[in-house]
Structure 1
């Protein structure tokens, strides 16, 4: 009987480990196999190509949390405002080149980073925004060591949006003036539950709880630590919540829930776009919303 129980326990552990690797290993496609194909507004692709070709400094830091070597690319516009851009799940910094082009056009310096376990940066496991939020603190320190007088804007998309929201709970330097989140989710548990129901018509609560436990053992954090609502309750930095109503990767309703959290200054923007593609199809209004937010609170 004891042997049977041990075998069953081992099977459970192996199954949970397999699911953990599926949703957290480098390159995971647990939230979708590829980015949605969307035709950009006229001129965006050309402007982005111009931005990509601009000279960039390669920056490096070592994560104080994991010890991983992390990489970023700095575009210097000789401005006193720098936008630190955090990409999403299963991609790298180039996924936000179009958005980086927007901030470059507005005259800001741009620091695009590869999260741990993404792009050039080291690491085995994605952190669902939690591990990445700790690394953002290190990037802020690096930025201020290079440019101590810069005003800093945090911008994140999808998991990157969760990252900057989770970062907001910490005691941030006064240089961090604004946060912009585009298409962020409420927590790792809830976005995984959403996809379980959407794809397999199950809630998967026990499964997700087991994966969270495996994450605690192997990656050093549980999914409780990815709750953006709790983080926002501690936030003091003005924040803009941006989301497309046709987003089927992170449901639009999550934006409405997140934007009601906390007592900080906030603004919202919405489009008819799909996941992280509002700027692609509504570029004039998206840019206007960003510009107005910067003019109001920066």
Structure 2
């Protein structure tokens, strides 16, 4: 009996420690934060350019749109910018992890200069939108479907729609691609999106925390199931892209160590729709635009001339 107790204590301690670490990591990764974290060191050199775009965004005439406006627990907020040329085309822009619509000002300006109207939502648990937990695009994809339908209701059946996202936003658009999209959605651009939440988390556990997949990932996944209603393994950009029927451009930095570039190839192989893949050789995570804005816009333009 004493031997059993002696052996049981270390096992209990290990289990308790794993559970504590899992709750800690879940809160770090999934819990809402009401500020935008500082950017990585390699992108701080772009700060002056970034704030010039933010200044443009803050001063351009715009409207605030809502979903579930009168429900404080479900309310979602977006900015709509009408282009003065009224060319009947809108880009829906999805922001990155712990960002908000303002952090996508540079992309908004690029598309605005290309003649697009702009619709820029804040995802659940980001910016001005409600929500306690970040869902890494899986539930957000359905919100974007609602935003698209609202856009069509307001702007008309003849509106042509482009979907665009970066990082978590890129994965969100990849996940959205597998849904039954309105015919007004003509094309998708996904910049540095991950192939699945589980694969991305497992990668970051190993690279950033030096922790094994087991037992941490299954425990975090179980916590997520209780909080948000799904296991991490249930969510896959790859599986959604297999159902995609829209032309899609994948963009990824060749030196991305946050979402590894192999995920771009996995996503590219998954879709059978018309597709292009552009690896920006020397760019890190979400740096492809900043590395060479003119080249970025040219590549986007070339894709749109073919498919939009």
TM-score (norm 2): 0.86
Paired residue for 2:204?
195
Per the TM alignment, residue 38 of structure 1 is displaced from its structure 2 partner at its CA by: 4.4
Identify the residue that residue 285 of structure 2 maps to in structure 1.
275
Cα 1:14–1:202 change in 2 (3 A) is closer
- Residue 112 of structure 1 and its aligned partner are, at CA, apart by 0.8
Equivalent pair of 1:162/1:185 in contact (CA under 8 Å): yes
- Looking at structure 1, the residues matched to 32 and 234 of structure 2 have their Cα atoms a distance apart, in angstroms, of 20
Residue correspondence of structure 1 range 138-287 to structure 2 within 5 A: 138-148=146-156, 149-271=158-280, 272-287=282-297
- 8 Å Cα contact 1:194/1:203 also seen in 2: no
Distance 2:162 2:139 in 1: 19
Structure-2 change in CA distance of 1:44 and 1:7 (3 Å): closer
Candidates 25, 28, 31, aligned match of 1:22: 28
Change (3 A) 1:275 1:28: farther
Does the aligned pair in 1 maintain the 2:65–2:77 contact within 8 Å? yes
1:201-243 deviation line (CA, Å, top 9, x unaligned):
3332321111111111111122123211111111101100001
Picking from 270, 293, 297, the partner of 2:303 is 293
Counterpart check, 1:129 vs 2:137: yes
* CA distance in structure 2 between the aligned counterparts of 1:52 and 1:203, rounded to whole angstroms: 44
Deviation for aligned residue 1:197: 1.5
> CA separation in 1, counterparts of 2:292 and 2:13?
55
CA distance in 1, matches of 2:199, 2:127: 26
CA distance in 2, matches of 1:127, 1:262: 23
The alignment status of 1:106 with 2:114, answered yes or no, reads: yes
- Give the conservation status (yes or no) of the 8 Å contact 2:254–2:284: yes
- Cα distance in 2 between the residues matched to 1:9 and 1:115: 34
C-alpha deviations, 1:28-74, integer Å up to 9, x for none?
Answer: 99xx86344244499776466334411110000029xx961000001
Unaligned runs of 5+ in 2: none
Pick one of 105, 117, 120 that aligns with 2:125.
117
Instruction: Indicate the structure (1 or 2) with the bigger Cα radius of gyration.
Output: 2
Higher relative contact order (CA 8 A, sep 6+): 1
Equivalent residues of 2:21, 2:216 under 8 A apart: no
Residue 105 of structure 2 corresponds to residue 73 of structure 1: no
Counterpart-to-counterpart distance in 2, 1:47 and 1:192 = 31
- The total of aligned residue pairs comes to 294
SS of 2:198's equivalent? helix
More divergent stretch after superposition (164-173 vs 273-282): 273-282
Structure 1 residues 12 and 269, CA, compared in 2 at 3 Å: closer, same or farther?
Answer: closer
Q: CA RMSD in A?
A: 2.9
| Greater mean alpha carbon deviation, residues 250-259 or residues 157-166 | 250-259
SS in 2 for 1:224: helix
Q: CA deviation at 1:17?
A: 3.1
Secondary structure at the counterpart of residue 82 of structure 1: strand
- Per the alignment, residue 50 of structure 1 pairs with 56
User: For structure 1, which segment, 11-20 or 217-226, has the greater mean C-alpha deviation from structure 2 after superposition?
Assistant: 11-20
TM-score w.r.t. structure 1 length? 0.89
Partners of 1:130 and 1:225 within 8 A in 2: no
